[in-house]
Structure 1
Amino acid sequence: MSNAQPIAEDRVPDGARPPSRTRQLAAASIGNAVEWYDWYAYSFLAVYFADQVFPKGAGNSLVPLLSTFAVFAVGFFMRPVGGLLMGAVADRRGRRTALTVTILLMGGGSLLVALTPTYAAAGLLAPVVLVLARLVQGLSVGGEFAASTTFLVESAGPGRRGLFSSFQYISTTIGQLLASGIGALLAALLTDDQMGRWGWRIAFLGGALLSLLGLWIRRGAQETLAPVRDGEPAERPGLFEALRRYPRQSLLICGITAGGTLAYYTWTTYLPTYAQVNAGFDKGDALLVGTLSLAFFAVLQPLGGLLSDRIGRKPLLLTFALGFAVLAVPLLHLVTDAFASLLLVQCVGMVLLTGYTAVAAAVNAEIFPARVRAAGIGFPYSATVALFGGTAPYVGTWFKQAGHPDLFPWYVSALCLVSFVVYLTLPETARRPLER
């Protein structure tokens, strides 16, 4: 049985009542779902607003889409900054403070996307506004993972860190599901012309409003960062203290994340677009398949988290990495313009992916002590996601434009093999107490 630290008297002020675990889960998960709805709405609706914001290249219809995914990647490269800065806020001022700031930034970025002018109306100002909005959202989402990961795992009871960890991707998936579902609904109700002219803006305006809801819910959360005990040093951790004092752990975060983030963004975000540009799949049907597979994925997460609490984190991680290393190429080659083929490929990938997503938050949090946990996770994790996850749609579309679409599946397979080697070296942390 795990000796994980619960949220108990030593984690709240003297005389205060320990917070309900259900309330803690709700505060983290609902706010996180709103954050990721705002983030993912961009990728699901890119095919509709690309032509509005970017001009077409001479005779090449992929130029606007490629440019839009380049901005998607630019937003990811702001995530390490957010992970570092918001992680430091979480370690210095508390997890709840950081979670409040991140959701405010995300709502503002979503509103800015909704108000982005067209290229025809504003010229170069249009892509500049879009880039600025994604930079703000990238800063937010980089800090969100660091703060919410530490908050969730520190809120867990004995032997339940894996289960609580899974809520990171349950809520992330709910956010994706909302984005995909609303995108599919708008596509069903509106014509392609209406979606391209103004329909896509509705989704981003809704995201800005949902951010206010998430902010209100998070006000009820209680802090999980333990107060400084008598006799302990009171100075707050430096901005780069985690990197300086724990370089091995920082590199481990990169290795743990590399294959997982590429597989994750390929299967949950880019696959509908991959099917459209490589197999001629219908836009609306691709969004519907994405929505169905994401619902299936959300159901799998707590099962994976519970299993990891019982048998450990490593077996799930190794199954994920080896599965993708072997099956990524044949699975992506099975994608055709048939509805059933894309749904099958996406659901098989979701089963394998759960071995990573259900335990990633727990594994990351179990590597660092509480004093630098948020910043220690935030920077290396977000930097790796930016390098491999955020560029997945761009790299896949670029391979297609270059005439080598078959290389992208091999790229996914190779990086998952690298992570498999890293997982072999990891110690099992499921039954270790959470370091304070």
Structure 2
Amino acid sequence: MTESRSGGTAERSPWLMLALATLGFAVNFWAWALLSPLGPLFRTQGTLGTLSESDVALLVAVPVLVGSVGRIPIGALTDRYGGRLMFPLVSAATIVPILFIGFFALSSYGALLVGGFFLGIGGTAFAVGVPFVNAWFPPERRGLAVGVFGAGMGGTAISALTTVKLYTNAGHRVPFLITAIALACYAVIAWFVLRDAPGRRPAPGGFVQRLVANAKLPISWQACILYAVAFGGYVAFSVYLPSYLKIAYGLDAADAANRMAGFVVIAVVMRPVGGWLSDRFGPVPVLAVCYAVVVAGAAVAATTPLLNHVGTVAFLAMAAALGAGSGATFALVAQVTDPARVGGVTGLVGAAGGLGGFVPPLIMGYVYGRTQSYGIGLTLLAITAALTLLLTLTIVRKTARPGIQEQRQGTTTSEEPA
């Protein structure tokens, strides 16, 4: 079946749609993370006046917070209008604050805050891609597909590796100009190539009505907790791990950054693995194993073991578990949620994951400032993961059971001869 471009549906390979959605997620996350690597430079260069650590923290946090909360309305809009429209729209809209920051805001802290606020639009791409990809794949493959899409969060690594180098060596405007061009190219490609899945049903009802209805679903609040711990833990470590390693183990900045990069790479790679395992064994067993590994890893790390031996294994095991757990969470959402509501639920869950990443660093910094120890903070992480494990094995398992039975019945039916 082939329809007009405006209709939004045409013959397309699901894997091509997945690849383009993942690319869009990565490019938008690259843009979303532009200010974070530049925070320390803004403070030391003095072009914005005298900035405190709180000023820099606010500057870095604004786009992340807006991008996290903004997933709620963007997810609902994607349910209504489809990813074929929303992906190029979000990408094009993100270009505006990028160019504003690069050409007008680099000498004014207030202007940077305004630009950072609207830069948060890029972070909402996650809530566009999950329902878009979910609709293109059958239930037994959605865990892998959504996990592969989730690996696009590695776009933040592009920003971390390139932004400061381009800013200092090629010119202050260059990283923003390059990112804007990348977004423009993707928006054009997405407009002409992306198609919504055949048979996609737009969500009925008004925005507020759908938001309230999605929030009332049991899977919504359960997945919010699961994702706040899994993806929130990943975000927290990717932000705070360099400082922790420098203070707790005396590493220099380069060594700490390299170890943090290893943590991020493993988490990104394990996200689609978590989705694939969920397709094979079910999301609940995968989530249970992931949270059990986090409990053990955090408990070991709380003792500040030798970094080159036990400590490295503990942190890398947690990276793998947090990445796989993030993928398994959305495999669970895809399994339990009506496809017409996946975008709205994804918005709520994605917001919880983004916001969850800011709680652990605040706690770790607060506790260390008063006790000169990271052990208490890591122990609290172990306790939180243990409680999440208990939630997974009880309430979440009960919620997921009807979805598992329905998926098995659908698989059996599809295997019967016509």
Structures share fold, TM-score greater than 0.5: yes
Match of 2:90 in 1: 102
CA distance in 2, matches of 1:284, 1:199: 23
Q: CA deviation at 1:314?
A: 1.0
Match of 1:73 in 2: 61
1:322 to 283, 289, 292: 292
Question: Is 368-377 or 384-393 further displaced after alignment?
Answer: 384-393
Match of 2:134 in 1: 153
Cα distance 1:243–1:46, how it changes in 2: closer, same or farther (>3 A)? same
Q: Residue 241 in 1 paired to residue 210 in 2?
A: yes
2:33 to 30, 40, 46: 40
Match of 1:85 in 2: 73
Q: CA deviation at 1:73?
A: 3.2
CA distance in 2, matches of 1:112, 1:394: 30
Cα distance 1:109–1:223, how it changes in 2: closer, same or farther (>3 A)? same
Conserved 8 A contact 2:294-2:317: no
Cα distance 1:208–1:281, how it changes in 2: closer, same or farther (>3 A)? farther
Q: Residue 289 in 1 paired to residue 259 in 2?
A: yes
Cα distance 1:163–1:395, how it changes in 2: closer, same or farther (>3 A)? same
Q: Residue 223 in 1 paired to residue 204 in 2?
A: no
Q: Residue 299 in 1 paired to residue 280 in 2?
A: no
Match of 2:346 in 1: 377
Q: CA deviation at 1:369?
A: 1.7
CA distance in 2, matches of 1:356, 1:148: 18
Question: Is 164-173 or 295-304 further displaced after alignment?
Answer: 295-304
Cα distance 1:83–1:285, how it changes in 2: closer, same or farther (>3 A)? same
Cα distance 1:53–1:31, how it changes in 2: closer, same or farther (>3 A)? farther
Q: CA deviation at 1:116?
A: 6.6
CA distance in 2, matches of 1:24, 1:301: 19
CA distance in 1, matches of 2:21, 2:212: 26
Q: Residue 162 in 1 paired to residue 130 in 2?
A: no
CA displacement, residues 158-180 of structure 1 (integer Å, 9 cap, x when unaligned):
5211110111321112x133223
Structure-to-structure mapping, 1:295-374, within 5 angstroms: 295-331=265-301, 334=304, 344=313, 346-374=315-343
Q: CA deviation at 1:246?
A: 5.2
Higher relative contact order (CA 8 A, sep 6+): 1
> Which one-letter code corresponds to 2:349 in the other structure?
Y
Cα distance 1:293–1:16, how it changes in 2: closer, same or farther (>3 A)? closer
Match of 2:22 in 1: 29
Conserved 8 A contact 1:162-1:362: yes
Question: Is 17-26 or 324-333 further displaced after alignment?
Answer: 324-333
Unaligned runs of 5+ in 1: 1-7, 58-62
Q: Residue 211 in 1 paired to residue 183 in 2?
A: yes
CA displacement, residues 252-289 of structure 1 (integer Å, 9 cap, x when unaligned):
23222221133111233331233235444322333333
Question: Is 348-357 or 294-303 further displaced after alignment?
Answer: 294-303
Look up the SS of the partner of 2:208 in the other structure. Answer: coil
CA distance in 1, matches of 2:181, 2:174: 11
Match of 2:236 in 1: 266
Conserved 8 A contact 1:44-1:269: no
Conserved 8 A contact 1:80-1:383: yes
CA distance in 1, matches of 2:2, 2:283: 28
Conserved 8 A contact 1:43-1:72: yes
Conserved 8 A contact 1:183-1:287: no
CA distance in 2, matches of 1:108, 1:276: 37
Conserved 8 A contact 1:45-1:183: yes
Cα distance 1:164–1:363, how it changes in 2: closer, same or farther (>3 A)? same
Conserved 8 A contact 2:302-2:379: no
CA distance in 1, matches of 2:201, 2:163: 47
> Which one-letter code corresponds to 1:210 in the other structure?
A
CA distance in 2, matches of 1:316, 1:103: 33
Conserved 8 A contact 1:318-1:423: yes
TM-score, structure 1 as length reference: 0.77
CA distance in 2, matches of 1:340, 1:48: 34
CA distance in 1, matches of 2:209, 2:243: 38
2:156 to 155, 169, 176: 176
Q: CA deviation at 1:17?
A: 4.5
Q: CA deviation at 1:33?
A: 0.6
CA distance in 2, matches of 1:261, 1:255: 10
> Which one-letter code corresponds to 2:156 in the other structure?
Q
Q: CA deviation at 1:308?
A: 1.6
> Which one-letter code corresponds to 2:70 in the other structure?
G
CA displacement, residues 113-164 of structure 1 (integer Å, 9 cap, x when unaligned):
444756xxx5xx41x22322232232441x3222111111211245211110
Conserved 8 A contact 1:293-1:346: yes
Q: CA deviation at 1:312?
A: 0.9
Higher helix share: 2
CA distance in 2, matches of 1:54, 1:363: 46
Question: Is 240-249 or 198-207 further displaced after alignment?
Answer: 198-207
Q: CA deviation at 1:361?
A: 2.4
Match of 2:245 in 1: 275
Percentage identity across paired residues of the two chains: 19
CA displacement, residues 387-421 of structure 1 (integer Å, 9 cap, x when unaligned):
42134444444444445442332332233233223
CA distance in 2, matches of 1:117, 1:344: 43
CA distance in 1, matches of 2:367, 2:257: 22
> Which one-letter code corresponds to 1:49 in the other structure?
F
Look up the SS of the partner of 1:315 in the other structure. Answer: helix
Conserved 8 A contact 1:275-1:335: no
Conserved 8 A contact 1:83-1:145: yes
CA displacement, residues 186-213 of structure 1 (integer Å, 9 cap, x when unaligned):
3xx99xxx58xx8776444432232223
CA distance in 1, matches of 2:242, 2:308: 11
CA distance in 2, matches of 1:165, 1:393: 28
Q: CA deviation at 1:237?
A: 4.0
Match of 1:50 in 2: 43
Unaligned runs of 5+ in 2: 409-418
